[in-house]
Structure 1
């Protein structure tokens, strides 16, 4: 059972006592707590305005952490990323393979196991007869591999580390917007915005402080993401030379 914050309990008790006085003194037959009391007020707005304010808050925030799953082009990606204006870092899992991404400015690094690089070579871990592919994968495994900007993988992987690009593509609901009551995410009260009554996705927006997005359920079962650490800065550290491999102009491709 979810514990109810003491402040909310005391507030409810106070409202109940006030209602009793009103009923006793005036003969009125009912009283209820204002669901927007103590909130940022966005719960009173139309759904389109709530979504607009949440997107504006997300765009203005200097940093965010997002985690969960995204389904795109038939592939499911599990993400755990920290993002800010000049880069990002974190982990991505796709088709059972996990890899780390780090972007600082225009420099993008990918860190993965030797098994990952064998798969990228299209050899499924078998390698060439002379073992050269396996040896190459072994040199890349566990190292930060600098991704060349001209490589097709650069655009695909850098998108996971770009706050503006990623949020712009994700924070979208489809169809007619509406609201679906008050909810709670990790102890924070939220208002839920829906697209086509939920079939077009749902977005839980904070009712406390800045109206940041906190939970996104994408339309059509295309993934669920949670957002946290809004505005919380973090450090991006360039890997040392002994941790880095410069593969060249193009990475191995599958």
Structure 2
């Protein structure tokens, strides 16, 4: 499912408190700033992530809470279809109505039984393992694909009245990710933006309620539909 969730741009509202006496980060090495920013984000007990994204094929909106950088719960709207998502450890759960499942499952289920399979899935949670290559929630807060080597630093700029430092890196596909961190105090991520084949924005804020992702009481797996899939 990771292919339909191009989470490539984020914004963080977990700003540090303090006055003008805070130390400037402008003189800090780009790689060191990027490493520290990612570490700080992963250390936050929980936060909200709200935003949207789009590539050539898919339009997506999200309203999620993330706990300890590992578990997640919330909703995504994918091409107009609302999807409830839960990530806990190495398990992920997705619940949606028939139109979404028909769009997704048409690739895996023969046309003759597609409507029957979709009817069984509609309004219920599908449980599946997290993609090992995607690494679930952790990959969503790893802004530079596992390595901050090659990150460059730009001049400080102001975004929404906050002075931030841009840290940029271009990947092998030519897409550029720019992470904006606070110019003073601890370099918490303020915004991260990716431009290229995928474009998206999102805000990270401290949620009003504690983030407590919980596995649903009932769910089904692909094995429950064994014999219906093209590769089964």
Alignment TM-score > 0.5, same fold = yes
Task: Tell me if structure 2 keeps the 8 A contact 1:215–1:224.
Answer: no
Deviations 1:155-174 (A, max 9, x none): 18x94842x22222557778
Q: Which residue of 1 aligns with 2:48?
A: 65
Deviation (angstroms), 1:81:
2.9
Task: Tell me if structure 2 keeps the 8 A contact 1:75–1:94.
Answer: no
Greater radius of gyration (CA): 1
Alignment of 1:47 onto 2:12: no
Q: CA RMSD in A?
A: 4.0
Helix, strand or coil at the partner of 1:83: strand
Relative distance call for 1:89 and 1:159 in structure 2 (3 A) is farther
Relative distance call for 1:253 and 1:204 in structure 2 (3 A) is farther
Deviation (angstroms), 1:238:
2.5
Q: Which residue of 2 aligns with 1:136?
A: 117
Relative distance call for 1:107 and 1:120 in structure 2 (3 A) is same
Deviation (angstroms), 1:140:
1.5
> 2: distance between equivalents of 1:71 and 1:234?
26
Give the TM-score, by structure 1 length: 0.60
Q: Which residue of 2 aligns with 1:190?
A: 164
Give the TM-score, by structure 2 length: 0.65
> 1: distance between equivalents of 2:89 and 2:46?
15
Deviation (angstroms), 1:115:
1.2
Task: Tell me if structure 2 keeps the 8 A contact 1:181–1:192.
Answer: yes
> 1: distance between equivalents of 2:77 and 2:83?
6
- Which of 194, 198, 210 is residue 186 of structure 2 equivalent to? 210
Alignment of 1:145 onto 2:147: no
Structure number with higher helix proportion: 1
- 1:1-254 mapped onto 2 (5 Å cutoff): 37-69=20-52, 75-76=57-58, 78=60, 79-85=62-68, 86-122=70-106, 128=112, 132-147=113-128, 149=129, 154-155=130-131, 159=134, 161-162=136-137, 164-170=138-144, 177-185=152-160, 188-195=162-169, 200-207=176-183, 210-220=186-196, 222-229=198-205, 233-241=210-218, 244-248=219-223
Helix, strand or coil at the partner of 1:201: strand
Deviation (angstroms), 1:110:
0.8
Helix, strand or coil at the partner of 1:137: helix
> 1: distance between equivalents of 2:158 and 2:24?
15
Helix, strand or coil at the partner of 1:116: helix
- Structure 1 residue runs without a partner (length 5+): 1-35
Relative distance call for 1:203 and 1:248 in structure 2 (3 A) is same
Deviation (angstroms), 1:109:
1.0
Deviations 1:95-118 (A, max 9, x none): 554422112233321111111222
